[in-house]
């Protein structure tokens, strides 16, 4: 949610694009943290909605941890800023027997954190409207740069993407100030905690986390500190799956 405040043609069928994953059974207790592209799935042929769906089917998770609020998951609501849910995730949950967990805060906690972040940006807009507009332009420019960089699914999950996303967020912290940074930290901590609790409470189960390309690396670092041996390196996994 906080991150939402703001051609490689596939010539073969997707089932043939994932031979490496089909040939070797995966251990049962792995954790894979994926960065979805949101509306950029529609502009990135190397990682469109079909590839996101194929990656879920290839990993064969027992549990999906999703970047949605509990009420959005329970009611399969529309998810503004995250079109991958009606396009891919909600249909898959209806099709497959996969348990799902919401990692975003809900209820009063959602209102509290979102309200603090929104208030910080309102202060920025009043104090420095040009700075606020510059952040918006930066977000658009980052998307264009990432689309130029991404030539394969694994690149959307790699360190270069993480560095670019972190740079844009650093600019938000610098201009919107400590109140916004604190709200973002609370949001990230809640989501990371949800993932860690889910993984720890399901030993022997394969867990797939559908995060964002903007926060995937942050969540992965949190989870690695808690369950290091279970976390799969996302970029190599996608690179192997695509060959």
- pLDDT tens digits, 126-142: 999 999 999 999 999 99
Q: What percent of the chain has pLDDT over 70?
A: 88
pTM comes to 0.87
Query: Using one digit for the tens of pLDDT, what is the confidence trace for 159-174?
Result: 999 999 999 999 999 9
The ranges assigned to domains in the chain are 10-242
Q: What is the mean pLDDT of residues 154-161?
A: 96
Q: What is the mean pLDDT of residues 149-156?
A: 95
Give CA–CA dist 151/128, Å, rounded: 37
Q: Which uninterrupted H or E stretch holds 35?
A: strand 31-36
Q: What is the mean pLDDT of residues 212-226?
A: 96
Local structure of 102: helix, strand or coil: strand
- Categorize the per-residue pLDDT at 22 as very low, low, confident or very high, splitting at 50, 70 and 90: very low
124: CB partners within 8 A, 6+ apart: 131, 132, 135, 175, 176, 177, 180
Tell whether the model's pLDDT for residue 98 goes beyond 60. yes
The pLDDT of residue 7 is 34
Give CA–CA dist 121/118, Å, rounded: 5
Give CA–CA dist 207/198, Å, rounded: 8
Beta strand 207-212 with 99-102 is unpaired
Say if CB 198 and CB 124 are below 8 A apart: no
Q: Which residue reads 């469109």 in tokens?
A: 48
Local structure of 207: helix, strand or coil: strand
Local structure of 87: helix, strand or coil: helix
Average pLDDT over the chain, rounded to an integer: 90
Tell whether the model's pLDDT for residue 186 goes beyond 80. yes
């Amino acid at each position: 949610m906080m991150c939402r405040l703001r051609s490689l043609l596939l010539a073969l069928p997707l089932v043939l694009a994932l031979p490496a994953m089909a040939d070797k059974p995966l251990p049962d207790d792995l954790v894979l943290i994926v960065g979805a592209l949101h509306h950029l799935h529609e502009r990135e042929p190397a990682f469109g909605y079909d590839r996101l769906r194929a990656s879920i089917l290839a990993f064969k998770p027992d549990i999906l941890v999703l970047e949605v609020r509990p009420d959005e998951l329970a009611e399969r609501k529309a998810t503004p800023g995250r079109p991958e849910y009606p396009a891919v995730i909600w249909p898959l949950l209806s099709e497959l027997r996969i348990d799902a967990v919401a990692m975003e805060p809900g209820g009063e906690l959602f209102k509290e954190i979102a309200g603090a972040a929104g208030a910080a940006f309102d202060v920025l807009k009043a104090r420095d409207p040009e700075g606020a507009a510059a952040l918006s332009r930066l977000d658009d420019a980052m998307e264009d740069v990432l689309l130029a960089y991404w030539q394969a699914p694994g690149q959307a999950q790699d360190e270069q993407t993480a560095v670019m996303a972190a740079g844009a967020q650093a600019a938000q912290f610098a201009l919107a100030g400590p109140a916004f940074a604190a709200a973002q930290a609370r949001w990230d901590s809640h989501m990371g905690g949800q993932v860690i609790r889910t993984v720890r409470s399901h030993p022997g189960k394969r867990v797939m986390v559908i995060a964002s390309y903007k926060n995937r690396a942050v969540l992965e670092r949190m989870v690695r500190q808690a369950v290091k041996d279970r976390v799969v390196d996302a970029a190599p996994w996608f690179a192997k799956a695509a060959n």
